[in-house]
Amino acid sequence: MDQATMRALTQDTAGSPDVLRLVETPRPRPDRGEILVRVHAAGVNPADWKTRERGVFADGTALPFTLGFDVSGVVEAVGDGVTLFRPGDAVFGMPRFPHPAGAYAEYVAAPARQFAPRPRGLGHIEAGALPLAALTAWQALVDTARVRPGDRVLIHAAAGGVGHLAVQIAKARGAYVIGTAGAAKHELLRSLGADELIDYRTRDFAETVRDVDVVVDGIGGPSWARSLRTLRPGGTLVSLLPPDDAFPAEEAEAVGVRAVFMLVEPDHAGLRAIASLVEDGDLRVIVDEVFPLEEAAKAHAHGETGRTTGKIVLSVAP
């Protein structure tokens, strides 16, 4: 392989994890305002395997394509006009979302301001696990719900990729945090700062939790309407899943609360805030398992079990 090409995972058809295949493809070049990043690690997210199965991105981009949004790596080159970074800088980011970023590859070219300096003391694997999940939690709690000290926050799927980071971000904002998760994950969540935990297998959160200011819901379906019952007047339900006929927007308004859908966005300022939390010891990412790039199919199959704790990461470069 020469300097004009790179390894990347691509798919030509929709379907199971086995449709992913490793190919040699032209290396991208940074356009004006962009940086070229040599990818060391790429996070694996539910959006990846759902897109693989559908065979089309949420923005309508059709096959063939390369999956992946989360990037941690080193700047290889900068395009005209870029002043934030220089070659050799370690960076992390979630470029272009919800449009294809092509992070399952050895190089990614994307707008410079959709990256931030990698948190000091954090390796590429952990940094590659952070961007999409941490930005989702940050934008849900801080930008959308405006969590303040003393707020009561309910986080569903608290041990998941977004959930375990949301627990820590809410605690860093001074909130009282209630999480739903299986009992086996309670000890970990307590170590991350959760104040109260509910085993969804044995307790109904809708019957036991009250006077909550914010609910972060990445489950959807029946949990939306049931979560409304936990909110105090003026509270906010933030859904991380697109609304469908079950989304209780009108019911929320009728009882004096707000129900909104939030889609995460690339966010330089948010990434820097997240990096500060990491550097201050207030945020740590749990990596469930690491797979080499060529074993992305195994990574997807593992993620689709729904039994992961924290994040799955692809190791791309040493």
> Measuring CA to CA, how many Å separate 30 from each of 77, 80, 149, 160, 313?
7, 9, 42, 34, 25
Q: What is the pTM of this model?
A: 0.96
Average of per-residue pLDDT across 86-112: 97
Q: What angle do CA 129, 187, 42 make, to 5 degrees?
A: 5
Q: Could you count the other beta carbons within 10 Å of the beta carbon of residue 60?
A: 7
pLDDT tens column, 124-168: 999 999 999 999 999 999 999 999 999 999 999 999 999 999 999
64: preceding bond cis by omega (within 30 degrees): yes
Share of the chain above pLDDT 70, in %: 99
**Is the pLDDT reported for residue 286 higher than 70?**
yes
Span 133-261: which CATH code? 3.40.50.720
pLDDT tens column, 9-43: 999 999 999 999 999 999 999 999 999 999 999 99
Cα–Cα distance, 292 to 303 (Å, whole number): 15
Domain 5-130+286-315 has CATH 3.90.180.10: yes
Bridging pattern class, strands 196-198 and 176-180: parallel
**Is the pLDDT reported for residue 2 higher than 70?**
no
Domain-by-domain residue ranges, the chain?
A: 5-130+286-315, 133-261
